Amino acid sequence: MQKKALVVDLVDERPSATLTTRPVNTLGPDLVRVQVAYSDINYKDALVLKARSGVVRDFPRVPGIDFSGWVIESSDHRFQVGDAVVGTGWQIGIQIDGGYQEIVDVPGDFLHPLGGKRTVQDAALIGTAGITAAIGLTKVLDSRALAVKDAPILISGVTGGVGGWQLAILAQLGYTNITAVTRQADLAPQLQEKGAAAIIAPETLRLEPRKPLARQKFAVVFDNLGGDFLADILAQVQQDGHVVSSGNASGIKLTTTVLPFILRGITLHGVDSVNYPVDDREELWQLFENNFWPEPARRPDFTEVQLAELIPLLTAYPHSAHHERTLVKLRSRRPRGLEQK
């Protein structure tokens, strides 16, 4: 038995991707074999093709940190043939082969069963981006800063996967005073339809010269940029406000002072979606079953591509602007003979 797969290997010490076929070997103990329906593109997937990115250390590797599909064989008693499942995080596509292949074998602990309303396409649309957004939201939703629906909220990198989900969920929950940060001014009407009250460029929040404290503007900030942007925004958070940090598109260095923390009492939350505990992860998927699942008009936009189209998209991804999710469709229907029991 053979499967199609996108394999990245080192050629002259540089990552090189090839669409090829691989044998399907005997399933190992405690593993679950999944017929992949969908994967998606995340920034980390594209970094696998970047020389010396450090994302993948052992080659060859099949990228794809997310996937959804149906169980076709299982050595784990928790999963039966025909079950719909999704896998995100846990070094999928990084330390073990991921979703850019027709069939994937993973430990059962890395899977969540889709036994409710969410389809395999829904699960791929959520993916790591949605899970990351949801983790950050759960850290602040019960805070006093978000006790009123018109609390001033800022989302940076709103056209990215995580930022798009933050906007979608917050709008679905009824928050009305959301400021979206993006350089793509032409997307303003679209972002307003999805729940943003204002759209601004990141430069409008720059402090020149940088100040340890500035005018208080936002109760809660969801930051996906990091770097100098985060340093500037910390000074503009309201008393007892919150900042959720979940990205580093503008850099990993943070030059700031302790004053926003000790004089205004703000809280800085970090988000790690890779090693998020299993039980807590289950709660997130339950939230997406109900409260966190947006109405159709508010959901992040997406396009679907085939596995054969993936290599040039991954190559261009770090250098191109994005405003929608990209799903990789390998199969749209449950294979015949895999009826759920």
The answer to whether the peptide bond before residue 60 is cis (omega within 30 degrees of 0) is: yes
What confidence tens digit (pLDDT) does each residue in 281-335 have?
999 999 999 999 999 999 999 999 999 999 999 999 988 887 899 999 999 788 7
- pLDDT over threshold 80, residue 183: yes
Residue-wise pLDDT for 203-231, tens only, equals: 999 998 889 999 999 999 999 999 999 99
What angle, rounded to 10 degrees, do the helices at 120-140 and 278-289 form?
A: 110
* Beta-sheet pairing, 84-88 with 111-113: antiparallel
Q: Which CATH number fits domain 129-270: 3.40.50.720, 3.40.640.10, 1.10.630.10, 3.30.70.890?
A: 3.40.50.720
Would you state the pLDDT for residue 340? 54
pLDDT of residue 140: 98
> What is the tens place of the pLDDT at every residue in 31-72?
999 999 999 999 999 999 988 888 898 999 999 999 999 999
Query: Does residue 341 have a pLDDT over 50?
Result: no
Task: Please calculate the CA angle 40-271-300 and round it to the nearest 5 degrees.
Answer: 40
More confident residue, 276 or 336: 276
CATH fourth-level superfamily of 2-117+300-329:
Medium-chain alcohol dehydrogenases, catalytic domain (3.90.180.10)
pLDDT score, position 339: 61
Q: Structural domain boundaries of the chain?
A: 2-117+300-329, 129-270
Helix (H) or strand (E) holding 283: helix 278-289
Of 115, 85, 36, the C-alpha closest to 333 is 36
Q: What percent of the chain shows pLDDT beyond 70?
A: 99
Per-residue pLDDT reduced to its tens digit, 69-120:
999 999 999 999 999 999 999 999 999 999 999 999 999 999 999 989 999 9
pLDDT in the model for residue 332: 77
